[in-house]
Structure formats: structure tokens, C-alpha cells
Structure 1
Amino acid sequence: MARPLASVQLYTLAEQFSADMAGSLDRLAGLGLRNVEAFDFVRRPAEIRAALDSSGLAAPTGHAPLLSDELWTPDGSIPTPAPEVVFDAAAEIGMTTVIDPFVAPERWRTLEGVTDIAERLNTLADTAAGFGLTVGYHNHAQEFVASFDDQSAYERFVALTDPRVALELDLFWALTGGQDVVSLVERLGERLVAVHVKDGVTPATNPWEPGAPAFASSSLDQRHAGTADVPLADALRAATSLKYAVIEYDHAPGDVFDDIAASLAFLTDGGFVR
């Protein structure tokens, strides 16, 4: 088992972060966190870097769309400029890896679409290197709808990408996509450098199956790490090269800082992070 650093995806506290950036980061630091995963950072890198420095936090990873014109979320979209602008902002903040967090479901339904996603990220790996960065991809559940020769679209994508492309596996969404999460972690091996530590009652159907009803984050029954359906402990033990265990809630069940603290306690008390 690799013992990664604990982090938290700032999308979890998007409302609080937007209202009081410095105060939110101070509260995270007060919980014992030393790392965060940045979100919606391209339009304000200097402000975020100053707030991180003031709180004694670092953002080694961050989410921004590299393969789409905007970042989709269940609660709205965030426009994003060219990859070079993203990388420049990431470097200013001090990141090492920029992770694309969402590529539209229809692009994962054909082999041509999956191949295009992989080839684009491979090219961007070269561009990012010029900024001293690497690129990565974070899944939801649309990557597990289609399969090609008994291989999921996600794992075909992994096979087609340059080993420099980092993988961040959202364990909740992989389970929602019908995956044996522990086996998937084992198969990804050294390519898997980060996981999203997220638990909850998995939806009855994959929200990105063709014809599935639209959903919002508020419809998700998410819970503290280690208290619901996702085999987080076994998945973390199965990982061999993790650098970051990133706490995230798409829909925090209560006070967001208490919820983050509960999931952090799961990670620290279980000896899953260093």
C-alpha cells in the first residue's frame, strides 16, 4: 500500500470558498490538512496563491478542463481558456499536475471518441512539460458505459495514453459505473497517482447511461468516508503508487467542514495517509 498525502478538492466547499477564500483555507489548515486540490483557479491564480501561502497550504493538483471549452458540473458550467493559459495559472499557484475532471459522455461511447481523448491528452502532456507540469484525468461514471472487446472505454483510454498522463480515480463514481473498484485500482497500478476519497449510497442507475434522467449534486446520498457503499479501505490498500488521497463530496451531507473532518479522520485513523 502506498501512503499518500491527504488533500481535499475545493469543489467540496465551493460556496464557502467563494464567500471567504482565506477563512475557508484557514479552517482546512486548522483541521490538519496541508494540501488542497484547486478548482476554478484559472481566473484568479494570484489571489489563490496568496491565500494558500497565508494558510500554509499547497495545491499540488488542480482541476481544469483541457479537452473541452468549459468545465461541466451538475450545478453549472465554468468556461476555461486555452490550455496554455490554464498551465500558466497552474504554475503560478505552484501545482505539479493539472487534471481534466470531465469529458462529455457522448465522447466516451465510440472507440474513435476515446482514441481522440487519449491522443489529445498525450499532446497536452508535451505542452504541459514546457510549464514544468504534468496532466491527468479524473473520471465520473460515463467512462464505464461503453466497452470495446470486453474492455471498458476508461481502460481503453488508459491503454492509449502516454504513461506521463496521470490517473486520478474517483472511487465513488467508478463504483457507480459498475466497476469492481479494488480490482480496477490493482489493474491501474503505477499509473494511479491520486484517488478521490468519496463515499455514499451509489445511485440505482448510472446517471450517464443513455436515456438516464438528468441529475443534480443535491440528489446524491453521499456520506462520510468509510460509512457507506464504497470499499475505500480496500481500494487504498490495493494502491501501489498513490501520491494524493483527495477528500471530496459532490453533495456534503451536513456542515461541510465537519464532513471533511470526518473523512480526514477515516484516512488518518486508518493509517491510510502520511
Structure 2
Amino acid sequence: MTAALSVQLYSVRDALAADLQGTLDRLAGLGFANVELFGFVDRVDEYRTALANSGLTALSGHAPLVEQADAERALDAAAALGMRTLIEPMIRHGWETADGVSAVADRLGQVAAQAGPLGIEVGYHNHTWEFESDIDGRNAFDVFADRLDSAVVLEVDTYWAEVGGASAPALLTRLGDRVRLLHVKDGPRSTDASAQQPAGSGDMPVKEILAAAPRAVRVIEFDDYAGDLFDGIAQSLRFVSGQAS
């Protein structure tokens, strides 16, 4: 089975702010059939119309679900847009202790229980700090994964995992099918997002990453990019599409 391809719209946030429909049309023209949304909760009608016009499907989306968030409203918006997976994009605090990690895991499990009747999976997207915190000799992300309800899935940002000190291929092998989506990006393992590069042109082991999670949705993303974003996305798409899946 060929893994689905998508693109995180945060990559083209400035273009979206200027021209939502034109930006989605341009991504569809590059060959995408799927996108991952952000900032959609207050723009459901706009996105529903623009996605339909461009022929794109919002397989997944990012919305705050835990810290100072209205999870029910986000879930309703995701359901209205036909999303399959709604992902908590960032929880900054709680990774320093076992109790803090458990509290994060428990809250996501509660949101997943709310999401189930809507036909939506809830997921979590990592940054670096989950791998930089040590809890009894293990990184906080591995502790989190052990304590997480099985209803909660994972979107592994492979770039930030590596920057945080983890081997992304090894992590994906450990987690197996719990990983539903990957953020695929490349670069020099730097916290400087503007140094990110198209997939296959940096230091990330992208081929090994894709091979370690053959069924996970490949979500191309740039947090920032010094070149032309649409050209960078197109290069990443060509590289990822050319890998066995």
C-alpha cells in the first residue's frame, strides 16, 4: 500500500494569509491531493469552500487541545471539514517530571474519548523538548508514549526529534503503527528553522525515516526556508514520492 502524501499549510502561511484559494490551487498544481490544516477553527466555511474548489482533502489538522484550549470547538470544526486526525501541535510544559508527562497523556486520552464518536483520531506532534528532558534515564517522549492511551496516535516530527537528540528511524521502529503521520523535512540538525532544506538535500536520514514508517502519511513541512517555498515543497514532494513506501 502506498502511503499518502500531504503538506502542512503552516509552511505557506504567508501565502495563505494573502490568498487562500490561490495558495491551495497552487499546491494542488504541484501534485498534492491532501493537506494538513492549521488555524482553521475560525475559518471552517472558508476552508470548506476553498478545499472543494481546489480538489484537496484535509486529512489532518493542527489545533490546540490541551493548554488553554476549547477542544470541543476544535473537534467540531475538524468534523465539519471531514478530517480524519486532529493533532495537538505543541505542549510546552509538563515534560520535566513523570507526573507532568502522565498529566499530558491523560488529558489527550480524555480528548480522544470526545473525538471517537465524531470519527476522528486525536494525535500528538512533538518538538525537541520532549527528547531533551530526562526521566529516570529515559527521554520524556518515550515515557509519554508508554503512558498514552492507545486511542491517541502520534505524528512524529522527524526533524525536531533528531534535533532533540533522538534517532528518528529507531524511534519510528519502536513506535510502529502508533505513528499515523510523519513531518518530513530536512536540514542540518539546527534549531535555526531558516536553515531547513528540501527533503533529500540535508543531513536528515530521510530515506531511512520513510522506510521505518512505511504506512504513515508523509506530511511535507518547512518551519521556514531561505529559498522559494513552493519550489522547496515541490523538490521535497519529488524526493518523497520517489522513495519506496
TM-score of the alignment, normalized to the shorter chain, above 0.5: yes
- Checking the alignment, whether the CA contact within 8 Å between 2:211 and 2:244 is kept in structure 1 is no
Choose from 57, 68, 85 the match for 2:73.
85
Structure 2 partner of 1:74: none
Q: CA RMSD in A?
A: 1.3
Deviation at 1:253, TM superposition (A): 2.6
Residue 110 (structure 2) aligns with: 123
1:212 is aligned to none
What are the equivalent positions in structure 2 for 1:81-160 lying under 5 Å apart? 81-104=69-92, 106-160=93-147
Shift of 1:240: 4.5
> Relative to structure 2, which stretch is displaced further, 262-271 or 14-23?
262-271
CA distance in 2, matches of 1:192, 1:232: 16
> Which residues of 2 match residues 174-213 of structure 1 at below 5 A?
174-203=161-190
Between structures 1 and 2, the one with greater helix share: 2
Q: CA–CA distance in 1 between the matches of 2:3 and 2:67?
A: 29
User: 2:53 aligns to what SS in structure 1?
Assistant: helix
Answer 1 or 2: higher relative contact order, Cα 8 Å, separation at least 6. Answer: 1
Letter paired with 2:196: Q
TM-aligned CA deviation for residue 96 of structure 1: 1.1
5+ residue gaps in structure 2? none
Q: 1:235 aligns with which of 209, 219, 226?
A: 209
Q: TM-score, normalised by structure 2?
A: 0.96
> What residue is the counterpart of 1:62 in the other structure?
61
Deviation at 1:134, TM superposition (A): 1.1
Aligned to 1:221, which of 183, 186, 195?
Answer: 195
Q: SS state of the match for residue 41, structure 1?
A: coil
1:61–1:97 contact (8 Å) kept in structure 2? yes
Classify the secondary structure of the residue corresponding to 2:118: coil
Q: 2:58 aligned with 1:30, yes or no? A: no
Task: Give distance in 2, aligned partners of 1:174 and 1:55.
Answer: 33
Q: C-alpha separation between the residues in 2 aligned to 1:54 and 1:85?
A: 25
Instruction: Give the C-alpha shift of residue 157 in structure 1.
Output: 0.6
Percent of paired sites with the same residue:
44
Which TM-score applies when normalising by structure 1? 0.86
